[in-house]
Amino acid sequence: MKANEYDYIIVGSGIGGLYTALSAREYGSVLVITKGSIDDCNTKHAQGGIAAAISKDDSVTLHVQDTLNAGAGLCNEEAVNILAAEGPARIADLVHYRVPFDTIDGEIALTMEAAHSVPRILHAGGDATGEHVELALSKKVRDAGIKVFENFLAVEIVVDKKKVRGIKAIDCRTGTAENFMCRYLILATGGAGQLFKYNTNSNIATGDGISLAFNAGAEIVDMEFFQFHPTALRMPGVPPFLISEAVRGEGGVLRNAEGREFMKDYHEKGDLAPRDIVARAILSEMKKTPTDRVYLDITHLTPETITTRFPHIYRFCLDRGLDITKAQVPVAPAAHYMIGGVKTNSWGETNISGLFATGETACTGVHGANRLASNSLLEAIVFSKRIIERTVSKTKEKPPKTETVKDTYVSLAERPIPKVLPPPNLTTLQQLFWDHAGIIRDKRGLSEAVGILAGWQHSLPKPTDQSSYELSNLVLTGRLLVEAADIREESRGAHFRSDFPESSPKWQHHVIWKK
């Protein structure tokens, strides 16, 4: 094999990318390309944990049912069954890779989170699960001698006759471009939280994989469904910091600015209601009071419980002058997780031969219209494993399609562009999305956002360096999001339209983008 030629190239170094690399190394040469360091990713921001049916009180059937309930009619049932059934074996892999899950009396400790019917959330270091997973996998990748090119940004997928041939990347330090050829290309670039002014994501979450895949001709699906976490720290001068759902799972109570518990007004499950309902309830309470925050109260828990179960959150807040064992935590919603993504089948395959996607970049159909808490890290490892199994399988025919819904296929069309455009930069983009494509949307705001994004696409100069490529990727990814949100004239799961506040049976299908 020539220099710069590999069996597997993986773009991204989160849980999906690193686990895929470790699974692929037995079957050929592997290269991991990542635009930051190997540890820059959204995985390490995952506090809550990983959901898996490993308890004697739990079952695959229960996990499937909870996932389908959260997904609001849009889950791919085949993918959900695979996730729940194969999850326990993948957890065993993480234990083998030395992920230090928390234990009680020698057994893995399990906690409760919203919309789960039983405790099934594994965690490590209390609320530092993602960080421990990332550290364990990155150490294993280094120890295995897998080649990793840090500070390389993938900018174009090389496709010939509908088959992947490789990828073009630029060295972020020098700006020089290089081609890397491969048999199989796996996109694991994470999400696009940087679209929004308030978000819990790493700075690297700029929709790179969506942009790469769409420009190469891959299908993109469910982009209107973007999950907002209801509780991110809201303090002056402090960037949004995730206050895990597990805090409410342990008994945390939301109070408005007047100190009143309010979640029972909105849902029978109160503080353990699904995320989208909690996020909209908080918005409603903030408008009533009026203020930019509500409060999460865990002061009734013992200080020992708080500091051992949530050491990361406790230390972060304490470093900023807030002792959460004594004072309530000021919180507000923030963009958190991209549910849609590159459309894959149950083996991680896209419609382009040799191109796969995993993790937040992919849309396997597991999450439907609303992700069940803590299913995302599990999804990444379950389907990453299946990607490698697919590449070494003797049978190469496409698996049968099990979707029963009638999908809507669309392509980007010319749009009316406003005469005066705001400047195309990250700050303007993030404010635009927060105002017009956030937790509550309507036709007027979405149409305005579509026009501005279409105008920016026409006017942006050809990207030349990391920041200009990232802005270009965000504009394209964002346009797919707002146009899908404009098309879907109903409210379902994480997508809420104030002008169409009810779900409609005629919209129980997917919006799929094709170039």
Three-state DSSP class for residue 95: helix
Q: Which helix (H) or strand (E) holds 356?
A: strand 355-357
Name the maximum alpha-carbon separation found in the chain.
68
Tokens of 237: 């001068």
User: Which among 248, 275, 492, 497 is annotated as catalytic?
Assistant: 275
- Known catalytic residue: 309? no
Dist CA 61 CA 72 (whole Å)? 17
In terms of Cβ atoms closer than 10 Å to its own Cβ (0-12, 13-18, 19+), residue 502 is exposed
CA atoms within 13 A on the CB side of 474: 26
Residue 335: φ, ψ to 5°: -60, 140
Length of the chain: 515
Q: Kindly state the DSSP code that residue 503 receives in the 8-state scheme.
A: -
What pairs with residue 341 in β-bridges?
A: 221
What pairs with residue 184 in β-bridges?
A: 8
For residue 281, give the nearest of 226, 234, 332 by alpha carbon. Answer: 332
Beta-carbon contacts of residue 44 (< 8 Å; ≥ 6 apart): 130, 131, 133, 134, 135, 202
Amino acid at 179: N
- In Å, what is the CA distance from 343 to each residue of 137, 183, 204? 26, 20, 21
Pairing of strands 163-171, 152-160: antiparallel
Pairing of strands 341-343, 362-363: parallel
Active site residues: 275
